[in-house]
Amino acid sequence: MRTRLTAFTRDGFHFDVVDSGPIDGPVVVALHGFPQTASSLAELAALLGARGYRTVAPDQRGYSPGARPRARSAYRMAELVADVVALIRELGRGPVHLVGHDWGAMVAWSLAARHPDLVRTLVTISVPHPGAFARSLVTGDQLFRSFYMGLFQIPVLPERLLTSRPAVLDRALATTGMAPDVLARVHREIVATGALPTALNWYRALLVPGNRVLSAPLVPVPVTHVWSSGDTALSRRGAELTGRFVTGDYRLAVVEGASHWLPDERPDELAEIVAARIASVPA
C-alpha cells in the first residue's frame, strides 16, 4: 500500500513535502519559486487532484527549516537539482510529470536536461530555458528587468532592509502584481520563519565559480512553457527563444493579462495547461 510522503532527506538535510491528490494517480512534482513555499502551488495541486493526479510539492533548499545551509555555494544549481532527484527517487514511481514556477522552473529545466529519464513531461512557468534567458539578456530588455538580481548580491543588507521595513517588501512585490493575500503569506512563511536570507542565497549562488545556471543542455522531453503578458520580471523575448532549446515536442502558452504570480492568480488555466501536456503523451 502506498503512503503519503511528508518529508525526505538528502546529505543530512530534511525537506518538508506536501503530497496531495489520489495516492495512486500519475505523479506531478511541483517546484515553487521565490519568495514562496509549496503552499503557492496548493490551488493548482487541488485542481490537478480533481483530475486524478497526485501532486508532490517540496519546500525546497533554503525554505524547509531543516534544509537551510548558510553558505551561498550550497545553492549551486547542481545541489538544487540533486535535491529534486532525491525526491523523485524517494517516490519510486518512475518518470514524473514536472512543473516549476520561477526559480522552480529553472531547477526543472536543468533537471529535465540532465536527467531526462526521470521526467515524462515538463511544464515551466514564467522562467524560460536558461539558454533562452541568457540570450534575452543581450537581445532584449531582460537585463533591465533583472536589475534586482544585482541588488541581492549585496551581503546582509537586503534581508535586513526587507525584514525591518515590511512596507518596502510589500511595495516591491505589489508592483509585480502580487495580491495582498499572497503578500501576507510571504510574511508568514518566509519573513517570520527566518527563511529570507537563505532564500536570497539562490540569487547569490549565481556568482559562485562553476555554478552552471545558464548552461543547461537541450531538453529532450515534451515541454510546455507558460509566459504571462503582465510579467514584469521575465520578457517575451525569453519565452519566444525557448523553443530553440527543446528537442522534444514543444508548446508555448501565453496567458494574457496575468502577472508573474500565475499559480496564485490563474491556477485554473495552469491546471488545464498541465493536464493537456500530460495527456499529450501515452499513459
Active-site positions read 102, 203, 260
Beta strands in 59-205 (DSSP E): 96-101, 119-125
Neighbours of 193 (CB within 10 A): 13
Per-residue DSSP letters for 185-201?
A: HHIIIIITTT-HHHHHH
Report the sign of the C-alpha dihedral through residues 125, 16, 3, 19, in that order: negative
The phi and psi torsions of 247 (rounded to 5 degrees) equal -100, -15
List the grid coordinates of 70.
548558510
- Supply the DSSP symbol for 39: G
Among 93, 115, 124, 128, residue whose Cα is nearest residue 31: 124
CA angle 176, 178, 183 (to 5 degrees): 130
Separation CA 192–CA 186 (nearest Å): 9
